[in-house]
Amino acid sequence: MFVVMRTTATEAELLGVKSRILAEGLTPYEHGSEDGTKVAVVGEIGGRRPALLAALAELPGVERVTPISRPFKLTSREFHPADTVIRVLDAAVGDGSLTVMAGPCSVESRDQLLTTARRVKSAGATILRGGAFKPRTSPYAFQGLGVEALRYLAEAREETGLPVITEVMEPNQVDIVAEYADILQIGTRNMQNYSLLQAVGRVARPVMLKRGYGATIEEWLMAAEYIVSSGNPNVILCERGIRTFETYTRNTMDLAAVPLLHSLTHLPVVVDPSHATGKRFLVAPLALGGVAVGADGVMVEVHPDPDSALSDAEQQLTLDQFRELMTELVPVHEHTRGLHRDPVLAGSELGIGGSGAGLSKH
Ligand code: PEP
Ligand code: MN
């Protein structure tokens, strides 16, 4: 549930509401918006719900108390109807612009990364990607250059001005990765690594949370909730394909997840057709598809010589293919932006009460 404060509420009244929530052993999360201040109540409320709802509604300065129907609270549209916009250096994610994260699967050398960075920037990428710590299925496969790669990423940012995103695999890597990178990526294999989610929730860097390849949308949003409830509101969701019975593609890209997420959550959503398909020729069509169904952006793997890549050789685009993709992506985004975004309407179809349902003092 969340408490909506009256626009005339004083600081003392807000404090009174938070103290009451804390006294129940629950946690208050304040969110300021155009229509005033709201305080979400999170924790194990259980059977106390009706009594607590009534008690909070009676407190001075309270306009009304509204239940949140979903298990994810802070990430829900119900609590936070406006889109979250994440700003990092000159890039913005979720503001209606097209976010394009591009770069190699793995940072393999200084030259490979800088060449790619310059070319993707000139083609219109807004964020540079590159794996430093690689989660590989085989322990014998290339594991990434680690901190050396982080230094190359920082150098590429200095030169191009592009913010950089790279994966962090363990809680004890969070500080070093956050020192070099602008956005921290949580990979599919770590989507339910709760101590890692809490660790990235405590740093002042946006996080891109990839969908676990076996995760439902609700499990994914609950994972995002771990990050936000740990103190970091800047989370981007990335649909990167889920495992199904199909074997012609590496994974199955769940396009329906994009508009569904926009109705369920205020967090920005990007798609990663590289890992979703695993095949170079499928990357462009699925990138276009993702943007056409309303994704805020794409993440695409690009390599100067994909066939010689040390990881994911089959799915990385060449520099020229990436440039071509950009010429197709921009008009599709121009044409479709805003078309699918009516979260209130979608929410009513999903059974979300959006009309101030709940207990009011009036
Ligand atoms: C990646 O983007 O580098 C990656 C390993 O992706 P995923 O976690 O989606 O497999
Ligand atoms: Mn990869």
DSSP string, 294-324: T-SEEEEEB-SSGGG-SS-GGGPBPHHHHHH
Q: How far apart are CA 145 and CA 106, in angstroms?
A: 8
| pLDDT over 50 (residue 357) | no
Please report which confidence band the pLDDT of residue 360 belongs to, taking 50, 70 and 90 as the band edges: very low
- Alpha helical stretches, state H, the chain: 11-23, 49-57, 110-123, 147-160, 174-180, 194-201, 217-229, 257-264, 273-277, 280-292, 319-336, 343-349
Average pLDDT over residues 68-81: 95
Assess whether pLDDT exceeds 70 at residue 184: yes
Q: Choose one of 210, 236, 242, 250 to mutate for the ligand 1 pocket test, by most ligand atoms within 8 angstroms of C-beta.
A: 210
* Residue 237 clears pLDDT 80, i.e. is over it: yes
Ligand 1, atom nearest to 185 Cα = 2
Q: What's the average model confidence in pLDDT over 92-104?
A: 98
* Three-class SS state of 80: coil
In the prediction, which pLDDT does 223 show? 98
The kind and range of the H/E element at 208 are strand 207-210
Residues in contact with ligand 1 by the CB-under-6-Å rule are 105, 131, 135, 167, 187-188, 210, 240, 275
Which residue has its alpha carbon closest to ligand 1 atom 6? 187
- Cα 352 to chain centroid distance, Å, stands at 22
Q: Which atom of ligand 1 is nearest to the CA of 301?
A: 2
- Hey, CA dihedral for 139, 141, 145, 149, is it positive or negative? negative
Statement: residue 350 has pLDDT above 80: no
Using the predicted structure, report yes or no on whether residue 41 has a pLDDT greater than 60.
yes
In the chain, how long is the greatest CA-to-CA distance?
68
Name the pLDDT band for 163 (thresholds 50, 70, 90): very high
Three-state DSSP class for residue 228: helix
> Counting atoms of ligand 1 from 1, which one is nearest the CA of 299?
2
CA–CA dist 266, 82 (Å, integer): 6
Atom 10, ligand 1: residue with shortest CA distance: 188
Is pLDDT of 78 > 90?
yes
Q: Nearest-5° angle of CA 114, CA 119, CA 120? A: 100
**Ligand 1 atom 8: the closest Cα is on which residue?**
187
C-alpha 301 – ligand 1 centre gap (Å): 10
Banded model confidence at residue 98, pLDDT cuts 50, 70, 90 = very high
DSSP string computed for 156-170:
HHHHH---EEEE--S
β-bridge mates for residue 166, sequence order:
184
Q: What is the pLDDT of residue 354?
A: 39
pLDDT of residue 343: 60
Q: Where are the beta strands (DSSP E) in 47-149?
A: 62-66, 86-88, 91-93, 99-103, 127-129
Inform me whether the pLDDT recorded for 356 exceeds 50.
no
Q: Best mutation site among 240, 300, 301, 311 for ligand 1, i.e. most ligand atoms within 8 A of its Cβ?
A: 240
Query: CA nearest 201: which of 233, 172, 175?
Result: 233
Average pLDDT over residues 89-96: 97
- What does the pLDDT read at residue 355? 36
Q: What is the pLDDT of residue 341?
A: 64
- What is the number of the ligand 1 atom nearest to the C-alpha of 134? 5
Say what the pLDDT of residue 358 is.
35
How far away, in angstroms, is 18 Cα from ligand 1 center?
Answer: 40
Question: Residues of the chain with pLDDT > 90: what percent?
Answer: 91
Q: Measured between alpha carbons, how far is 351 from 349 in angstroms, rounded to an integer?
A: 5
What lies within 8 Å, CB to CB, of 165 at 6+ separation is: 101, 127, 128, 129, 181, 182, 183, 184, 185, 208, 299
Q: Is the pLDDT of residue 143 over 70?
A: yes
With beta carbons less than 8 A apart as the criterion, state whether 78 and 33 touch.
no
Cα→Cα distances 45→68, 103, 223, 351, Å: 12, 45, 20, 22
Whether residue 218 is predicted with pLDDT greater than 60 in this model: the reply is yes
136 CA → ligand 2 middle, Å: 9
Q: pLDDT tens digits for 220-235?
A: 999 999 999 999 999 9
What pLDDT is stored for residue 340 in this prediction? 65
Q: Ligand 1: distance of its center to the CA of 240 in Å?
A: 8
CA of 312 to the centre of ligand 2 (A): 5
Mean pLDDT of 122-128: 98
The rounded radius of gyration (Å) of the Cα atoms in the chain is 21
